[in-house]
């Protein structure tokens, strides 16, 4: 239960911050979601830094890592988790699953959004 609450708290903070950044920057540039782009890149940087620091010298406890990565970064952007998973494919040299996961995630994700819009009009 404690781990659930840590993820819940971190996720809420991350989601709130994502909202503020997106609201501030998405209207700055026309036809480009700058706020979302900023959030995704910062989230990727944070999840890599937090996990790298934690693995390097046991800087954080498991609960702190869970709060910051699964909770905060997960609420801030799920793209950071996607990028971390892709990094693990590249690290192990699994280029086939890297390519398949990338392509399928993007194509099926976009198709699922389109289907959701279509289905809502029935």
Per the annotation, where are the binding residues for Na(+)?
A: 74, 77
CA 103 – CA 45 distance, rounded (Å): 22
CA 3 – CA 67 distance, rounded (Å): 8
Task: Output the known binding site.
Answer: 74, 77
CA 81 – CA 44 distance, rounded (Å): 8
CA 77 – CA 60 distance, rounded (Å): 21
């Amino acid at each position: 239960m404690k781990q659930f609450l840590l993820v819940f708290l971190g996720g809420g903070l991350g989601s709130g911050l994502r909202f503020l950044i997106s609201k501030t920057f998405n209207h700055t540039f026309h036809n480009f979601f700058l706020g979302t782009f900023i959030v995704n890149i910062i989230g990727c940087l944070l999840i890599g830094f937090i996990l790298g620091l934690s693995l390097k010298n046991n800087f954080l406890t498991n609960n702190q890592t869970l709060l910051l990565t699964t909770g905060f970064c997960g609420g801030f952007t799920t793209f950071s988790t996607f990028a971390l998973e892709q990094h693990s494919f590249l690290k192990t040299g699994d280029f086939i699953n890297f390519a398949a996961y990338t392509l399928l995630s993007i194509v099926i994700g976009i198709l699922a959004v389109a289907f959701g819009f279509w289905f809502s009009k029935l």
